[in-house]
């Protein structure tokens, strides 16, 4: 590897980078860790179903051209199971957090 890599494909790439460039690797991992939570679709709400709205839940309404609500969806703000942390091969976000803080 020549210089700090801008792209990692596997957990092993991260670990090699950590040995060679610890400060830069931890900084990049922090960015990945900070973006681990996303709005994830939970389900489509039925016509009379209320749904939940709070800091970690929201309802998204789809309207037609006449601004009439046609569909409603429940979303939850949580860790993305398809996110970069898991794509790289880490088993949990805690594993990444330990690398950043350790």
Q: Is residue 2 part of a domain?
A: no
Whole-number pLDDT of residue 1 = 58
Query: Residue 24: which domain range?
Result: 9-36+80-102
What's this model's pTM, rounded to 2 decimal places? Answer: 0.77
Partner residues linked to 39 by β-bridges: 77
Higher local confidence (pLDDT), 69 or 34: 34
Question: Do both 84 and 72 map to the same domain?
Answer: no
- 33 pLDDT band (50/70/90 cuts)? very high
Q: Is residue 4 part of a domain?
A: no
Q: Is residue 1 part of a domain?
A: no
pLDDT tens digits, residue range 56-95? 999 999 998 888 889 999 999 999 999 999 999 999 999 9
Question: Do both 75 and 57 map to the same domain?
Answer: yes
Question: Do both 24 and 46 map to the same domain?
Answer: no
What's the rounded Cα separation, in Å, for the pair 20 and 15?
9
Q: For the chain, how many structural domains are there in total?
A: 2
Whole-number pLDDT of residue 3 = 80
| Radius of gyration of the CA atoms of the chain, in A | 19
Q: Is residue 3 part of a domain?
A: no
Of the candidates 45, 100, 40, 47, the one whose C-alpha atom is nearest the C-alpha of residue 75 is 40
pLDDT tens digits, residue range 35-46? 999 999 999 999
Q: Is residue 58 part of a domain?
A: yes
pLDDT at position 52 over 80? yes
Q: Is residue 64 part of a domain?
A: yes
Question: Do both 44 and 72 map to the same domain?
Answer: yes
């Amino acid at each position: 590897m020549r210089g700090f890599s801008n792209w990692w494909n596997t957990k092993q790439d991260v670990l090699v980078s950590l040995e060679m460039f610890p400060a830069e690797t931890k900084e990049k991992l922090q960015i990945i860790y900070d973006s681990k939570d996303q709005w994830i679709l939970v389900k489509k709400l039925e016509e009379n179903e209320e749904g939940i709205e709070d800091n970690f839940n929201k309802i998204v309404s789809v309207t037609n051209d006449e601004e009439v609500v046609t569909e409603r969806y429940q979303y939850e703000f949580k860790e993305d199971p398809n996110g970069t942390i898991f794509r790289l091969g880490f088993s949990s976000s805690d594993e990444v957090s330990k690398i950043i803080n350790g």
